[in-house]
Amino acid sequence: RDIFQNWEALALSFPGYVESMIFKFLDASTADGYNPYHIARDGFDWEVVDPTNPWSHIGYWGDHQVVYLLRLLEVSARYHPEALERLLDRRVFAYADLPYRIRAHSAMLREPATTIDFDHNLDRQIQGRAASLGSDGKLLPRPDGTPYHANLVEKLLISVLARLFNYIPEAGVWMNTQRPEWNDANNALVGNGVSVVTLCQLRRLVAFCARLFRATPLAGFELSSELADALRQVAGGLGRHPVPADGRISDRERRSVLDALGAAGSDYRQRLYTEGFSGDRAFLTVPELGSFWDVTLGHIDHSIRANRRADGLYHAYNLMEVSEDGIAIRHLDEMLEGQVAVLGSGALCARECADVLDALRESRLYRADQDSYLLYPDRKLPGFLEKNTLAPEAVLGSAIVASMVEGDDDPIVVRDVNGAVHFRADLRNRHLLRRALEERRLSDTEVTEILALYESVFHHRAFTGRSGAFYKYEGLGCVYWHMVSKLLLSVQEVLASVGGNPEEEAVAERLRKHYTGIRDGLGVHKTPDVYGAMPLDPYSHTPSFAGAQQPGMTGQVKEDLIIRLGEMGVRVEEGRLIFQPQLATRAEFLPEARTFRFIDVDGQEASLHLEIGTLAFTTCQVPVVAHRAGPPRIELTPREGPSRAIAGLALDRATSDAIFERTGEVRRLDVYWGFAEE
């Protein structure tokens, strides 16, 4: 499920492959908007329900697929500005055919943790097609057996709509596909959890699509009529409930919005599952799509800002409580994941991002001994004998509970030898408790009272998973180093968006200060006694009571590669290679002459002599020698002919393409950053 996050870094080294990566991703996405578990050389596969295996499980991840797809799209747009636009109306993409059937919206409200059925008959059909056709047999077929094709517009829209079908205003995206998000330590949130993290990621994708679609010279696009109907239903549902100019959305209106969007999703999936795509096409104009993006962004931006906490941080996940009167929201503790998501969403300006970082540094998430940040605030859990104990005032204040304690042959609650009152040991969850209460023919009011008391004792609805129960493995008190690198990258991206006027320079300086602090808190910058291990070795996390734990390379390496390119000032805009050294420091430059060894574009080992005050790295295997002094310019050494000087720190499109494509025409770049000498 995580292969595409590594491909993002790979695409920066081999940008010519990025569109193929996008095809690989989208051809493995389903017509209901999700991706399977595994991508492999021979296609994709999925998890299967196995009645003999208690650990077998099925479901879809949410935020993974939004994030990974978006990052590849952004790389393509930067390196090949016209590539995505050319694909918008071309029917060259396929759909994965998976034997998962997402239930109707009404059924998901009744059982939010059990929402996907496994179609064993369809599974056998798909496997049979694959046996005779190969991996193409796993694709959604037309009536004649050939793969059904869609254009890029359709593929992007279903990825967005699948999340909007589960959008809850001011709460986030409902986590109802039986799988957690990127941080699977929060796996218990599935069902009752609502993700602000996914909402932030979705915001960035929607803004990207809006820019992409509006840039086209086409009048509009054809797409499957079923999907066009779903889009119009969603647009209508959002449009009928405009974002309030001030104030909040009521619980009742929140339920109305979710019901409207959920019904659109149910209608679309029902047609898809029972009849398949009809083959009918609908035409959506660019202005109609523009209105859809506008109303969607308006709702998302309002919801993100509604999740700003009093301390200046942002909520990451919420809990939903559904009733006939509406949907109420309960907030969970602050999480680092939420701050990273909002910083990268594009919803905040640079100054607001700096404010979030200020608040983060002063929050419970800051861990002074590691000079870094926890995933969530640390806390002491109750001991075993402290659990399942009713407060004395709760017993005395409830006539029904008090009556149960005294002389009941089949008690719901029991009193121990010390006088403390507990729920009966076999009542492991609210469903078993409700069943026991129903056998007693209690009134609805009494049942509700006891269920509320049970929740106040166990807090099952607020249980997040090992994130709230372990003290290691992304649990309480842990610094998870991959998330810290994600934080660092998000700050770097915000910095890159800041202009050069004096007013913004003050904000940029605040951001640079935070960037330096976060970077210095990473393990590679620590001594072994502080880090608890060799700083250059990769480790997953650091708990509160020990040094770095769980050796092995996580996805952090991807973030760190991208971060390092950014620190060297490497940027690509409109297909042009640009050097913008905002984050390089004097300490980076060599204090003495050195030899730089690298593998050149011909695959041969090569070396360069580096002088004092320089540093070197490669981009697409072309060596770049950075010089601290001198007026800002680039000196290009070609394969043939003399070197030539280029004013400024940007290459033209043709030269940039030659580097990206490894043609060998460019053998070396000397970049003079123009730092003032001390």
With beta carbons less than 8 A apart as the criterion, state whether 330 and 322 touch: no
Q: What is the pLDDT of residue 50?
A: 85
Q: What is the pLDDT of residue 49?
A: 86
> Percentage of residues in the chain with pLDDT exceeding 70?
98
Residue 634 has pLDDT above 90, yes or no: yes
Q: How far is CA 208 from CA 66, 72, 84, 374, in A?
A: 12, 12, 11, 31
Per DSSP (E only), the strands in 538-658 are: 539-542, 549-551, 570-573, 576-579, 594-599, 605-610, 614-619, 622-627, 633-638, 644-647
Summarize the confidence of residues 389-414 as an average pLDDT. Answer: 82
Residue 676 has pLDDT above 80, yes or no: no
Q: How far is CA 17 from CA 75, 557, 594, in A?
A: 10, 20, 34
Angle at CA 287, nearest 5°, toward 282 and 289? 55
CA distance 158 to 136: 21
Residue 371 has pLDDT above 60, yes or no: yes
CATH for 3-348 (1.20.120, 3.40.50, 1.50.10, 2.60.40): 1.50.10
pLDDT, tens digit, 9 for 90 and up, residues 270-314: 999 999 999 999 999 999 999 999 999 999 999 999 999 999 999
The residue behind tokens 């083959």 is: 279
Q: What are phi and psi of 370, to 5 degrees?
A: -105, 0
Q: What are phi and psi of 382, to 5 degrees?
A: -65, 145
- Six-digit token string for 553: 């390379």
**Beta-strand relationship, 622-627 and 666-672:** parallel
CA distance 565 to 578: 12
User: 597 falls in which pLDDT band (50, 70, 90)?
Assistant: very high
Residue 407 has pLDDT above 70, yes or no: no
- Residues 6+ positions from 355 with CB-CB distance below 8 Å: 312
DSSP track, 24-90: HHHHTSBTTS---SEEETTEEE-----TT-TT------SHHHHHHHHHHHHHHHHH-TTHHHHHTT-
User: 54 falls in which pLDDT band (50, 70, 90)?
Assistant: confident
CA distance 260 to 238: 8
With beta carbons less than 8 A apart as the criterion, state whether 239 and 293 touch: no
Q: What is the pLDDT of residue 137?
A: 95
Q: How far is CA 566 from CA 67, 579, 630, in A?
A: 19, 9, 21
Q: 556-567 and 481-497 are packed helices; what angle lies between their axes, rounded to 10 degrees?
A: 30
Which contiguous run of DSSP H or E holds residue 404? helix 399-405
Q: Minimal CA–CA distance to 333: which of 348, 319, 321, 352?
A: 319
Q: What are phi and psi of 426, to 5 degrees?
A: -85, -5
Summarize the confidence of residues 343-361 as an average pLDDT. Answer: 98
Task: Enumerate the H helices of 80-217 as residue ranges.
Answer: 83-87, 105-110, 120-133, 152-164, 196-214
Q: pTM here?
A: 0.93
Best mean pLDDT range from 119-128, 464-473, 533-542: 119-128
Q: 556-567 and 3-13 are packed helices; what angle lies between their axes, rounded to 10 degrees?
A: 30
Q: What is the pLDDT of residue 211?
A: 97
Q: Minimal CA–CA distance to 585: which of 520, 507, 650, 497?
A: 520
Summarize the confidence of residues 146-162 as an average pLDDT. Answer: 97
Lowest mean pLDDT among 73-77, 265-269, 450-454, 538-542: 538-542
Summarize the confidence of residues 396-412 as an average pLDDT. Answer: 78
- Six-digit token string for 612: 């004092």
Summarize the confidence of residues 435-455 as an average pLDDT. Answer: 88
pLDDT, tens digit, 9 for 90 and up, residues 17-44: 999 999 999 999 999 999 987 888 778 9
Amino acid type, 195: S
pLDDT, tens digit, 9 for 90 and up, residues 480-497: 999 999 999 999 999 999
Residue 184 has pLDDT above 80, yes or no: no
HEC profile of 478-524:
CEEHHHHHHHHHHHHHHHHHCCCCHHHHHHHHHHHHHHHHHHHCCHH
User: 261 falls in which pLDDT band (50, 70, 90)?
Assistant: very high
CA distance 516 to 525: 11
Amino acid type, 535: P
User: 677 falls in which pLDDT band (50, 70, 90)?
Assistant: low
Amino acid type, 435: R
Angle at CA 172, nearest 5°, toward 285 and 85? 30
Q: What is the pLDDT of residue 465?
A: 82
Give me the residue spans of the domains in the chain: 3-348, 349-380+469-565, 384-458, 568-678
Residue 562 has pLDDT above 60, yes or no: yes
Amino acid type, 251: D
Q: How far is CA 540 from CA 368, 518, 523, 527, in A?
A: 19, 17, 11, 17
- Residues 6+ positions from 443 with CB-CB distance below 8 Å: none
Q: What is the pLDDT of residue 4?
A: 75
DSSP-derived 3-state class of residue 222: strand
Q: What are phi and psi of 342, to 5 degrees?
A: -70, -35
